[in-house]
Amino acid sequence: MQSTVTPTHCPYCALQCGMNLTPAPDGTVEVSERTDFPVNRGALCGKGRTSAAVLASNVRLTSPLVRDEGGTLVPASWDEALDRIAAGLGRTRAEYGPDAVGVFGGGGLTNEKAYTLGKFARVVLGTSQIDYNGRFCMSSAAAAGIKAFGVDRGLPFPLEDIPKSGCVILVGSNLAETMPPSLRFFTELKENGGTLIVIDPRRTKTAEQADLHLAPRPGTDLALALGLLHLVIAEGRVDEEYVRERTAGWEDARAAAMAHWPEYVERITGVSVPQLRETVRLFCEPESAMVLTARGPEQQSKGTDTVGAWINLCLATGRAGRPLSGYGCLTGQGNGQGGREHGQKADQLPGYRKLDDPAARAHVAEVWGVDPDSLPGPGRSAYELLDALGTDIRSLLLMASNPVVSAPRAAHIEERIRSLDFLAVCDVVLSETAALADVVLPVTQWAEETGTTTNLEGRVLLRRRAITPPEGIRSDLEVMHELAARLGVEKGFPTDPEEVFEELRRASAGGAADYSGITYRRLAEENGVFWPCPAEAADVSEGAVPAGEAPAVHPGTPRLFLDRFATPDGRARFVPVSHRAIAEEPDDEYPVLLTTGRVVAQYQSGAQTRRVAELNAAAPGPFVELHPRLAARLGAAEGDPVAVVSRRGRAVAPARITNAIRPDTVFMPFHWPGEGRANTLTNPALDPTSRMPEFKACAVRLEAVSSP
């Protein structure tokens, strides 16, 4: 008898590539191509091809764990583990108040789980202290997009538009390693006669594909964008009619840009004036062009302003809200987009509503059946929440995140986690953070549960259950249902994901991220539906329509802003910004800049990918990438251990010597714990708007290390 083939999506990055899963007689799961999904057309990277390896029982958690009197995590029953969590959270709430209980989520949670986690924090625990690791992903781009356009959606157009554009500027993204299947869109762009410009301090595999590669000093992307806008103005390339008819605030933004003349920008960035002029020519001459940013310009203490400067460049040249043109952000985490739309972010309610908006509170409270006044206000951002652990926040419920590896100033955050009165973690594997918990709950994975995610295009997708989870494994929805009941809330936390999604539809209706016209039935029949996708109010009111049906069918919105922007008057907003230095410039004691990033065979904190033999063979551990001149001054040869020291700590990893990086910069990937943990070094200086830490630039020194 032939096994059932289930079409679904990859559990890793925000492409959410389509794949097929087939259970094999030996209990393993086969991953195969799914060519009908337009984002990847069957192509999968190594992480996607090996994603089923983490489903194996010898890799993942299979039983709840509790810490015994001797301090060891030992297997326990579900009732004992859930009782301990309810008691721990409840005790903290009773002794210190609801805000002494924290909740930390993850960008890998489905929409249903992210929605329920936000509701659980505010309705069951009554705490304002909830945020998630997606804050470390694209929060700066989100903040800048809201300022300029009135709404944040990673890409306001589908990926399929990229090859048809005339020019794409890719800022701080190494797609060839972080999202390999997406590189074909840029290959097709060049095949169609378009131009690819890559901005990165390293000559990455992506930069090697570019027609023009600019290698600015880390942390100077803001000055670079302003210098390009200065040249656009000076060379008479402003689309005056577009600026007049579709934007506001141009004069102030123009004045700010004119203070950044080319020679000044060259001194700041290291990018030559001829390269600046060539970039402007290539960007402005075609009929259409795009700017796409990623973590490089966003993970800075001025990330919101930096993205805003790139948006200003698009607006001044008429490259937003027009076909095949626009600004977009390449979201990183699997459900980084949907994860922040529905309530696990500190300041948001479902539908991308603001928590401090009385109308938004009233709408969501009605759906939840609670008094709007009972909902707490906005809480701390991710790093600020983690930094408060063990002081203001005494207990923490953590889902699908590994901040011991992924947070900036990671050694300090590890100390804060260790100082908690109580820590409960829900995860698939025993991550470095889970290993510190008082209770660890093993939860279902992507292939073992149904749920929706929203990819980097704003395309809502249905991930289907393909296999039955091992006995003793429960879903996060079941966990929250059981904990809510133990904490005195018997209703409102269903375990069926479709039932949760139906409530999410009602809660999001009328919001910026409106999912009310999307149903599981539609998602099963279509290759995703782009939000906003509204329905008539009557169609989503309680009981008006059977679950899974929406009579008023909206087609979804693949392309935003073609008619108007999501601002009160429909105009995009220029935001005047000026260059400022990174929070920690090099000096005599710390003369080199560190920047961090990913490698193709590992993902995020590596909690799952480091458990896959094939991926570990390709990327077995951390390294320090440095220029030959820097290596010569240090006396380091290829493979020698090198210590990288910042004001926050010390990391040691083998040297990787290459001409592909600036001589004043070193690079470390951030996937590993231990002595090679890159985030031991990184700077938690926060962007004042997005509260994004400055992962991408900090001052360090290098030290030779004697081989053992």
In tens, the pLDDT along 549-587 reads 545 689 999 999 999 999 999 999 999 999 999 999 999
Domain 155-330 has CATH 3.40.190.10: no
73 pLDDT band, cuts 50/70/90, is very high
Residue 134 is predicted with a pLDDT of 92
Structure confidence by residue, pLDDT tens digits, 619-647? 999 999 999 999 999 999 999 999 999 99
Q: Which CATH class is domain 592-704?
A: mainly beta
Is the pLDDT assigned to residue 708 strictly greater than 60?
no
Distances (CA, A) of 346 to 29, 133, 271, 646: 37, 11, 38, 30
pTM: 0.95
Beta-bridge mates of residue 213 = 198
Structure confidence by residue, pLDDT tens digits, 639-671? 999 999 999 999 999 999 999 999 999 999 999
Q: How far apart are alpha carbons 304 and 144 in whole angstroms?
A: 5
Domain 6-55 has CATH 3.90.550.10: no
3-state helix, strand, coil in the chain (%, to 5): 35, 20, 45
Structure confidence by residue, pLDDT tens digits, 186-198? 999 999 999 999 9
Structure confidence by residue, pLDDT tens digits, 276-291? 999 999 999 999 999 9
Amino acid sitting at position 219: G
Residue 331 is predicted with a pLDDT of 87
Amino acid sitting at position 363: H
Q: Which residues contact 145 (CB under 8 A, 6 or more apart)?
A: 151, 152, 153, 307, 311, 327, 329
Q: Give residue limits of the domains in the chain.
A: 6-55, 65-135+334-540, 155-330, 592-704
Residue 541 is predicted with a pLDDT of 43
Q: Which residues contact 620 (CB under 8 A, 6 or more apart)?
A: none
Is the pLDDT assigned to residue 543 strictly greater than 70?
no
Q: Higher confidence at residue 546 or residue 206?
A: 206
Of the candidate CATH numbers 3.10.20.740, 3.40.50.740, 3.30.70.20, 3.10.20.30, the domain formed by 65-135+334-540 belongs to 3.40.50.740
Q: How far apart are alpha carbons 448 and 91 in whole angstroms?
A: 33
Structure confidence by residue, pLDDT tens digits, 440-460? 999 999 999 999 999 999 999
Query: Could you say which DSSP state residue 124 is in?
Result: I
Amino acid sitting at position 195: T
How many percent of the chain have pLDDT more than 70? 97
Residue among 540, 561, 146 at smallest CA distance from 352: 146
Helix, coil or strand: residue 48:
helix
Q: How far apart are alpha carbons 630 and 592 in whole angstroms?
A: 9
Exposed / middle / buried, residue 359 (Cβ in 10 Å: 0-12, 13-18, 19+): exposed
Residue 138 is predicted with a pLDDT of 87
Residue 78 is predicted with a pLDDT of 98
Residue 340 is predicted with a pLDDT of 87
Residue 1 is predicted with a pLDDT of 37
Rg of the chain on CA atoms, in Å = 24
Q: How far apart are alpha carbons 635 and 638 in whole angstroms?
A: 10
Region 384-404: what's the mean pLDDT?
Answer: 98
Residue among 188, 194, 236, 232 at smallest CA distance from 212: 194
